[in-house]
Amino acid sequence: MEEKEVSLSALFWTFAKIGVMTFGGGYAMLPILQREVVENRKWAAEEEIMDYYAIGQCTPGIIAVNTATFIGQKKRGVAGGIAATLGVVFPSMVIISILAGLITNFSHLAWVQNAFSGIQVCVCVLIFNAVMKLLKKSVVDRRTAAIFAVVLLGSIFLRIPPTWFVIAAAAAGILLKNLEVKGK
Amino acid sequence: MSVYLRLFWEFFQTGLFAVGGGMATLPFLKNIGQATGWYTYTDLMNMLAVSESTPGPIGINMATYVGFTVKGIPGVIVATIGEITPSVIVILIVAAMLKKFRDSKLVNHAFYGLRPASTALIGAACVSVVLEVLTHVTITAPAGSIVNHFSLEAASGLLNWPGLLLAAVLLVLTNWVKPTKNLHPIVFIILSAVVGIAAGAA
A59 in contact with chain B, both atoms CB, cutoff 8 A: yes
B171 in contact with chain A, both atoms CB, cutoff 8 A: yes
Pairwise CA distance, residues B76 & B68, whole Å: 5
User: What per-residue confidence (pLDDT) applies to A104?
Assistant: 86
Pairwise CA distance, residues B44 & B67, whole Å: 12
Claim to verify: residue A184 and residue A96 sit in the same structural domain: no
Claim to verify: residue B166 and residue B100 sit in the same structural domain: no
Claim to verify: residue B170 and residue B110 sit in the same structural domain: no
Claim to verify: residue A19 and residue A75 sit in the same structural domain: yes
Claim to verify: residue B143 and residue B168 sit in the same structural domain: no
Q: Who wins on pLDDT, B159 or A174? A: A174
Under 8 Å CB-to-CB from B10, ≥6 apart: which residues?
B32, B35, B36, B82
Q: Residue A1: inside a domain, yes or no? A: no
Claim to verify: residue A93 and residue A161 sit in the same structural domain: no
Classify residue B21 as left (phi > 0), alpha (psi -120 to 50) or beta. left
Pairwise CA distance, residues B166 & B199, whole Å: 11
HEC string for B29-76: HHHHHHHHCCCCHHHHHHHHHHHHHCCECHHHHHHHHHHHHHHHHHHH
Q: Residue A159: inside a domain, yes or no? A: yes
Q: Is the pLDDT of residue A26 over 70?
A: no
Which of A130, A159, A174 lies at the smallest CB-CB distance from B109? A174
Claim to verify: residue A128 and residue A144 sit in the same structural domain: no
For the stretch A125-159, pLDDT in tens is: 988 988 898 888 889 999 999 999 999 999 899 98
Q: Which domain holds residue A57?
A: 8-137
- pTM for the model stands at 0.84
Whole-angstrom CA distances from B173 to A61, A85, A181, B98, B184 are 30, 36, 45, 42, 12
Q: How far is CA A65 from the centre of its chain?
A: 7
Pairwise CA distance, residues B106 & B108, whole Å: 6
- Report the residue of A50, A53, A62 to disrupt the B interface, i.e. the one with the largest count of B CBs within 10 Å: A62
Contact yes or no for B37/B72 (Cβ under 8 A): no
A156 in contact with chain B, both atoms CB, cutoff 8 A: yes
Q: Which residues of B touch A138 (CB under 8 A)?
A: 115-116, 118-119
pLDDT band at A2 (very low <50, low <70, confident <90, very high): very low
Claim to verify: residue A126 and residue A78 sit in the same structural domain: yes
Q: Which residues of B touch A148 (CB under 8 A)?
A: 116-117, 119-120, 123
Claim to verify: residue B139 and residue B187 sit in the same structural domain: no
Cα torsion through B123, B126, B131, B134, rounded to 10: -140
A73 → chain B, closest CA residue: B92
Average pLDDT of span A56-76: 89
Average pLDDT of span A88-98: 94
For the stretch B27-49, pLDDT in tens is: 999 999 989 999 998 899 889 98
Report the number of distinct structural domains present in chain B.
2
Mean pLDDT over each residue of chain A, to the nearest integer:
87
B181 → chain A, closest CA residue: A129
Claim to verify: residue B136 and residue B168 sit in the same structural domain: no
For the stretch A112-128, pLDDT in tens is: 888 888 988 998 898 89
Which of A59, A148, A165 lies at the smallest CB-CB distance from B91? A59
Q: Any idea which of A136-140, B73-77, B99-103 has the lowest mean pLDDT?
A: B99-103
Claim to verify: residue A144 and residue A105 sit in the same structural domain: no
Claim to verify: residue B145 and residue B172 sit in the same structural domain: no
B120 in contact with chain A, both atoms CB, cutoff 8 A: yes
Claim to verify: residue A155 and residue A103 sit in the same structural domain: no
